[in-house]
Chains A and B, each alone.
Chain A
Amino acid sequence: MAAAVTIENLRKSYGSVTAIQDVSLTIQPGEIFGLLGPNGAGKTTTIRCLCTLAVPDSGRIELMGIPVLEQPQVARRYLGYIAQEVALDKVLTGRELLELQAAIYHMPKSVALGRIEQMLSLLDLQDWADQKTGIYSGGLKKRLDLALGLLHQPDVLVLDEPTVGLDIETRSAVWSFLRQLKAAGTTILITSHYLEEVDALADRVAIIDQGQVIAAGTPSDLKDKIGGDRITLRIREFTPDDEAAKAKAMLADLPFVQDVIVNPAQGNSLNLVVERQADALTAVQQSLAAAGLPVFGISQSRPSLDDVYLAATGRTLMDAELAAVGQRDLKQEKKQAMKGR
């Protein structure tokens, strides 16, 4: 089966700022594909290019077999785009906005009427349909945004950070809705800097960092590839430095332990990378007991996508976020983006 989306060697810079350096990805029909990376990694620029809102400096994009850069007009019919920030006209009602949306996709009136009712009921918006969107809550706005983006039943739905700023209830509603859409055959591309979101939703994921894809595959493949399990150990709620250092030296000597990291941000908890074996937890506890150290908490887990990110870049996603906060000139970026090409 031909890919739903193919992106090859995409490169885009705004002035002197290189937003994406070299991004290639393939999305299969009917899958949820996650684009994961810290803020400023180039996720939004990549999907702007895909959604015909920006022209890359070089590269190739194909959507449902249509060359997007050469025939943006044709590609738009197959595409649904839901931006990170919900932009509604606050003076209009939800229904009026849906009617406008139907018209700019040239739906015949008879089709539009039924489809609008369907989307209103699907997203539980009937009670609010005839209210101005200015009075909507954040969750309602997002639901209307989804209804608008899906009204023409796009073959490929692109969502930029679909749950940023949403409450937990709305967030899980969005997740389950996306799963339903996938089950109905829609191809979905989401960007996120939430690890759990991508882990929970995506069939496949590409991790993007500083404008480049640094890892791609199914979440479990990626995690398997880096191997081992993780043990998080807290000797006390707040472990003194000397005790942590002592435990670190001792645990590092165990034959199945590959690495030990002391995390001062979590009260000197110890993070162990261990070979996957059944009795690892017991062995760690025994050697601690032998040394006369208590155990406040201990848990074992498979590696997370954050570990994948850590293995590829040498820093955690959280570190990257924090570093990016200081480095980015958001005003400048916005200005460059508004200037277009």
Chain B
Amino acid sequence: MSTTIPTSGRNGSRPLENDDLSTWKASLGDPSKQSQGLLSAAFIQETLAMTRRLFIQLQRRPSTLIAGIIQPLIWLVLFGALFQNVPAGLFGESSNYGQFLGAGIIVFTAFGGALNAGLPVMFDREFGFLNRFLVAPLASRYSIVVASAIFIAALSLVQTAAILALSAVLGAGFPNLPGLVLVLGIVMTLVLGVTALSLGLTFALPGHIELIAVIFVTNLPLLFSSTALVPLDFMPQWLQVVASLNPLTYAIEPIRYVYLHPDWTLGSVVLQAPFAGVTLGASLGVLVIFCGVALALIQPLLRRRMA
């Protein structure tokens, strides 16, 4: 293998020059006057490039995808079997526990994926790869967040499809088409918000040990303090209050509702919280606000200059 550096090239005796590049650089003009930021062409370009990297990684290392599909299905089967003999009627309107559980598993799976979104970025950071993004003139570092969110959302959609399919096989039925669209919308909103929080932590915490610790103490407690596994009226009063403040509940209940009610509307009451009845529309509102607040909260963290 030769390590000499050739001196001839497309530009003849000027191997380092590149006329196209120079023209492009000159056309940039005064970069301080460029309109950059969210949704600019530059932002979309960098976001798609980062997303592409994540998909190439997945294609060449598909184990995450395979495990990611198998795991929620195991949850569905095992947890479903565990509570199979609970008398009908204890789980609200659901005819059996499997039907009740589907919505919880969909949301919890998407939530878990998004919560872990920061880990690969943290490894990039520790390894020094993230520095390439940090020293580049990114239109906004939100591109790092959005790229991860797109990737996790795509993964979650595949997982959701697998859960919906197995639930149907297990006798839970199937939401109608508008219901399916609603399910996908809920999953994507939740993924964007939680991915944002996870990446915020990645920029704020010193290393992957700390990040894993935070993920560890967040993941299961949020599952158990939501309506994923049991309905609200099954819980003691204090836990009902906690569950009504848990954003996961606002993702789970609408999905559960559209499973059972093909005639759903935005005004349908999907949750009897201790303070008031919550409509489907209000649930979606809570999710969108959660997502917006998460994105806004992490802004100062993304601006940090760190290595």
Q: Which residues of A contact B (CB under 8 A)?
A: 48, 51-55, 66, 71-74, 76-77, 79, 81, 83, 85, 87-89, 91-92, 96, 99-101, 103-108, 110-111, 114-115, 117-118, 121-124, 132, 137, 139-140, 143, 148, 152-153, 169-170, 173, 176-177, 180-181, 184, 335, 337-341
Instruction: Give A55 to B128 CA distance when docked, in angstroms.
Output: 18
Give every chain B residue within 8 A of A48 (Cβ-Cβ): 307
Instruction: Give A53 to B305 CA distance when docked, in angstroms.
Output: 5
Instruction: Give A114 to B18 CA distance when docked, in angstroms.
Output: 8
18 of the cross-chain contacts (CB-CB < 8 Å) are A83-B128, A87-B129, A89-B129, A91-B57, A92-B56, A96-B56, A100-B50, A100-B53, A106-B45, A108-B24, A111-B24, A122-B9, A124-B3, A124-B6, A173-B3, A180-B16, A338-B306, A340-B305
Inter-subunit contact A101/B6 (CB<8 Å)? no
Give every chain A residue within 8 A of B138 (Cβ-Cβ): 104
Give the distance to chain A from B220, nearest Cβ to Cβ, in Å.
Answer: 27
Give every chain B residue within 8 A of A111 (Cβ-Cβ): 20-21, 24
Question: 5 extra interchain contacts, Cβ-Cβ under 8 A, other than A74-B32, A184-B16?
Answer: A76-B136, A104-B50, A118-B10, A176-B5, A338-B307
Inter-subunit contact B129/A99 (CB<8 Å)? no
In this complex, what residue of A is CB-closest to B47? A103
Inter-subunit contact A53/B135 (CB<8 Å)? yes
Instruction: Give A115 to B23 CA distance when docked, in angstroms.
Output: 12
Give the distance to chain A from B142, nearest Cβ to Cβ, in Å.
Answer: 13
In this complex, what residue of B is CB-closest to A172? B3
Inter-subunit contact A104/B306 (CB<8 Å)? no
For residue B17, CB closer than 8 A to chain A, the reply is yes
Tally of chain B residues near chain A (CB < 8 A): 57
For residue B127, CB closer than 8 A to chain A, the reply is yes
For residue B174, CB closer than 8 A to chain A, the reply is no
Inter-subunit contact B129/A104 (CB<8 Å)? no
Which of B10, B41, B61, B304 interacts with A340 by CB under 8 Å? B304
Inter-subunit contact A337/B132 (CB<8 Å)? no
Give every chain A residue within 8 A of B32 (Cβ-Cβ): 66, 71, 74
Instruction: Give A184 to B136 CA distance when docked, in angstroms.
Output: 22
Instruction: Give A124 to B4 CA distance when docked, in angstroms.
Output: 8
Inter-subunit contact B131/A81 (CB<8 Å)? yes
Give every chain B residue within 8 A of A108 (Cβ-Cβ): 24
For residue B87, CB closer than 8 A to chain A, the reply is no
For residue B236, CB closer than 8 A to chain A, the reply is no
Inter-subunit contact B15/A115 (CB<8 Å)? no
